[in-house]
Structure 1
Amino acid sequence: MFFDKLKQPTISYYGDSTRETEGFFTHPSAQADASKKQTLTTLDKLPEGTVSEVYVSYDRAYTPKDIYSFAKKYDMKVLWNAIKTEDSLSGNQRPIGFPGKDSEFLKELQHTSKTEVDQFKDALAYVNQHPTWATTISGRPDLDLSNRIRYIDQNGVTVYGSVVTGPSKEIEKFVKTKRIKTAKVSEVELWNW
């Protein structure tokens, strides 16, 4: 920020290469595609000792508590959650959400006694009061926060997709479950988990 002028910051997203492709997640109202099968084929071919970052979409929207309860059965981390903010996709809206329970960014927010859901709602309300800043910082003119906040107030905060990371074979087990509707591999690295 320079005086009262705000510049768009350089933002690093999970899976920058995936960000350029169409659709990170599949909305619960949309039909499943072949991505789950393709992801399982990719994960099956990866050797032990690799770690994958995968975008998963669930068969329906779940509470964050349900997601974390289900995910803790697997040796993986939940880095980010896509929040359901509409009953069906309208136009080309990209998801909004908040850091998952294992995100390094979330540790910076632990100073408050509020839950992550309450913090998310507070953040949306604050950002909605400053639409020009929100558009500049996010680089997204499609935020439509008033309608999204209204939907969340009426329906609660539910997660329909997550970015997860962990040993490729463990992620493969997770993706095979019936709860996962679609999945897309973002990054794969050699790593000592």
Structure 2
Amino acid sequence: MAEWNKEKEKKILFKYRFTLTVRVIRVLLACLFLFWVYMLVVTISYDALHLDKKHAFYSKLAMDWTTPNLYEEFGEVTQSEITPFLTQKISFPVSRMVGKEPKVVGEMEIKKTFLNMFSRSSVDFYQNNQDNNYRFFLPEHPKTGESLGAEDNDRVWKLLEKIHEGTVAELSFSTSGFMSPEELLELLAPYDVDLLWAPLYTGEFKEFEPSSYGGGGSDLSIHYIFGLSGGREISDDYMSEGKIQYLNTELLADSKKMMLANMKNLLEEESKSYIETFLGLHKLEERYLYLKDNEFTVYGAVVTGPVKELLKLQEVEEIRGAQLGEMDYWNWEEE
């Protein structure tokens, strides 16, 4: 029988530690290899399915409908990645059209998790005053037909009088009555301005109760509204996208069709939690059915143009509740 000694003990311990270390390294390498294979499959699937482009497109739609004159720089590369926990992180710059040129004001941040309840999208503005939370006032109560007022602020017009004529700006206003988009364009036709966005009446108080609204005295404004923008469309594989920048007479019918088609696609292809929790599009089905069965009706606008041309809108009797937005140096087209 071999005699036990310290030297032999050291050799056995060394051999055991070496064997254990090799095994641990093998397990780690195997785990790393499996993780690499897993991430390779996840990344290839993510790229093949174009999920980032899909979520980005629907986020842009939600922004078009709910945030006046806020959109992505068309053609900008969307930054996207997917984590091991299948969380998709997507971002792209957003701008406002001020005059004839876009003005970058922030960045859209999208976090799409495996569960819609934890998914979010929001705009990180570079400056606190660039969110431009415009208020639009209903001209009459949809249920009773009672005429309603608006918060008129003469300071807007006085400010426009003092601003140098070599400036362009963004202006919002409400109208004294409901009207069709065609009538709104006709109302603005004598003025050298571009129509960017118009608040839509989508059945509030008649078909459903708005989630939030307010007013003071005889005025009434809905805090969460949908609006008509130029419109956008995308191919079935989400690789090719088209967009109309402005609301104009020639393409107005296309803008309406695009909005209804996109609403229908969302309702047919996505879950309620995706639509409401992730995109924040509340009562989309009720709004879609109302717009599909009724004529498009607007009660205000967001326009842009030279400040002295915007000042002329003060003369229009149908315009009230004006609010001034972004301003920039002259970039308008001389006629």
Using structure 1 for the length normalisation, give the TM-score: 0.76
Q: How much does 1:48 deviate?
A: 0.6
1:37-67 Cα deviation digits (max 9, x unpaired): 2321221221211111011111122212222
**Number of the residue aligned with 2:151:** 33
1:121-174 Cα deviation digits (max 9, x unpaired): 222222334332333553x36x21222223323431112121100001101112
User: Which structure's CA Rg is the greater one?
Assistant: 2
Rounded Cα–Cα distance in structure 1 between residues aligned with 2:128 and 2:265: 27
AA aligned to 1:96 is: F
Alignment of 1:17 onto 2:129? yes
**Number of the residue aligned with 2:290:** 151
**Number of the residue aligned with 2:244:** 106
Determine which of 271, 283, 299 is the counterpart of 1:160: 299
Alignment of 1:169 onto 2:286? no
**Number of the residue aligned with 1:115:** 254
Map 1:88-103; keep pairs closer than 5 Å: 88=205, 90-92=210-212, 93-100=223-230
Determine which of 254, 273, 281 is the counterpart of 1:132: 273
AA aligned to 1:90 is: P
**Number of the residue aligned with 2:168:** 51
Q: How much does 1:178 deviate?
A: 0.8
Rounded Cα–Cα distance in structure 1 between residues aligned with 2:128 and 2:178: 25
Q: How much does 1:34 deviate?
A: 2.4
Using structure 2 for the length normalisation, give the TM-score: 0.47
Change in Cα spacing, 1:125 to 1:163, as seen in structure 2 (3 Å) is: same
Rounded Cα–Cα distance in structure 2 between residues aligned with 1:61 and 1:146: 22
Structure 2: runs of 5+ lacking an equivalent: 1-51, 53-81, 87-112, 141-147, 213-222, 232-241
Alignment of 1:73 onto 2:201? no
1:55-111 Cα deviation digits (max 9, x unpaired): 11111222122222222211111111211113558342412123249xx94159xxx
AA aligned to 2:265 is: Y
Aligned residues: 182
Q: CA RMSD in A?
A: 3.3
Q: Which structure is richer in relative contact order (CA contacts within 8 A, separation 6 or more)? A: 1
**Number of the residue aligned with 2:25:** none
